[in-house]
Amino acid sequence: MCAAMSLHVMLAEDDPDIRLVSRLALKRAGYRVTATANGRELLEKVTQDRPDVILLDYMMPELDGAETCAQLKADPATKDIPVVFLTAKSQGFQLEHGSRLGAVGYITKPYDALTLGAQLKEILERQP
């Protein structure tokens, strides 16, 4: 696949197994993936290797998804990168909080390895 075609996803997920499986699933769907273990690590890497989209687990130690998103949106260098949350369904207050923070979408559980890439694609295509 041509490098210019493949979108670069940066993922922050604290659980090593979920991180591994999500990374493999996104890779298989044609994305280039950088996986990080928490919000802090993502913020460090995001300026070095600017991704096209950021996937954030909502509940993480160190720096949770909301906090990480807020910091991304506060920095002019990163504020335009779309952010998508991985979260439980019907957590209304989280979703609302997330969109106030500037997230463009949510992938809700149960997500499976075969559709994760497609769900992300759908969200990105909805963007103007």
Partner 1 sequence: MTAEPADPDDPEEALREVRSRFIASFPGQCDSIAALLGDDADAARLEGAHFIVHRLAGLAGLIGFPSVSERATDLESLLTTGGPPDLALARDLLGGIRENYAVDLIEPPDWVESAAVAEGLAILIVEDDRDQLALLEIQLQRAGHRTMSVSRGDEAIAAARERRPAIVLLDVELPGLDGHSVCRMMKTDPDLAGIPVVLLSTRASIDARLSGLMLGADDYLCKPFDARELLLRIENLRRRASAAAPATSAVTPGGLLAFDAFAAVATAALAAEPAALALVRAAADRTAQLGVTLADEGRRRDIFGRYDDTHLVWLMPGLDGRAATARARAALELARESGVGDATAGIAAGAAGSKIAALVAQADDALTEARCRRETASLQADRRAAEAPAVAGTLVLADDDPEVTRVVDGYMRAAGFDTVLAFDGATALQAVNERHPDVLVLDLMMPAMSGFDVLMRLQALPNKPRVVVLSAQGREDDVTRAFDLGADDYVVKPFSPQELRARILRLMK
**Could you say whether residue 86 binds partner 1 (CB under 8 A)?**
yes
From 9, 22, 64, 69, residue interacting with partner 1 (rule: CB under 8 A): 22
**Could you say whether residue 47 binds partner 1 (CB under 8 A)?**
no
**Could you say whether residue 32 binds partner 1 (CB under 8 A)?**
no
> Minimal distance in Å, beta carbon 80 to partner 1?
25
Our CB check for partner 1 shows the closer of 110 and 128 to be 110
Whether the bond between 82 and the residue before it is cis, its omega within 30 degrees of 0, is no
Least Cα distance to 118 among 52, 14, 32, 28 occurs for: 28
Residues that bind partner 1 (CB under 8 A): 13, 15, 17-25, 27-28, 35-37, 41, 57, 59, 86, 88-91, 93-94, 108-113, 116
